[in-house]
Amino acid sequence: MATQIFVNLSVKDLNKSVEFFTKLGYTFNPQFTDEKATCMVISDTIYVMLLTVPFFQTFTKKEIVDAHKAIECSIALSADSKEAVNEMVDKAVAAGATVPNPASDYGFMYQHSFEDLDGHHWEFVWMNPDGMPEHQG
């Protein structure tokens, strides 16, 4: 069985977050959804649990980071092309995201990012398999 990943993110308004990510084309598993949390499906092995801040707090004694002020992680996902990277960022911006940095093109790799409604950093990356630099080591 392939390893699955469940990224857990705190959100201030669950309904607004679901609306935002729906506009990006993601779906949600109703089996793991209630008024406190939802399970966003990215792929057959990648899921993001969006948890309201009070519910998220029940899982930790630590302070929950305000992602508008500090970064707790950067979620990076692959894309099939440069165009697909830009399309996803464009959809996110149209849905209310902000863009912290311009796109970066390294020839063999192209990346662009956005910050969602709660300030979480999402990076989309396309890697050119024919342009990968040789390993120096």
pLDDT digits (tens, 9 = 90+) for 76-131: 999 999 999 999 999 999 999 999 999 999 989 999 999 999 999 999 999 987 76
pLDDT at 60 over 60: yes
CATH no. of 1-60: 3.10.180.10
Question: For residue 23, which amino acid is it?
Answer: K
* Residue 113 near residue 123, CB atoms below 8 Å: yes
Residue 101 class from Cβ within 10 Å (0-12 exposed, 13-18 middle, 19+ buried)?
Answer: exposed
Comparing 133 with 49, the larger pLDDT belongs to: 49
Chain-centre distance for alpha carbon 94: 16
Q: What is the mean pLDDT of the chain?
A: 94
pLDDT > 80? residue 134: no
Contact 114, 76 (CB under 8 A): no
Give span(s): CATH 3.10.180.10, the chain: 1-60, 65-137
Q: Which amino acid is at 94?
A: A
Count of CA atoms in the C-beta half-sphere (13 A) of 1: 5
Taking the C-alpha atoms of residue 31 and residue 1, their distance in angstroms, rounded to an integer, is 21
Instruction: State the burial class of residue 16 (Cβ atoms within 10 Å of its Cβ: 0-12, 13-18, 19+).
Output: middle
List the structure tokens of 28. Answer: 């949600």
Longest Cα–Cα distance of the chain, Å, equals 51
Name the CATH topology of 65-137.
2,3-Dihydroxybiphenyl 1,2-Dioxygenase; domain 1 (3.10.180)
pTM of the model: 0.89
d(CA 7, CA 39): 10
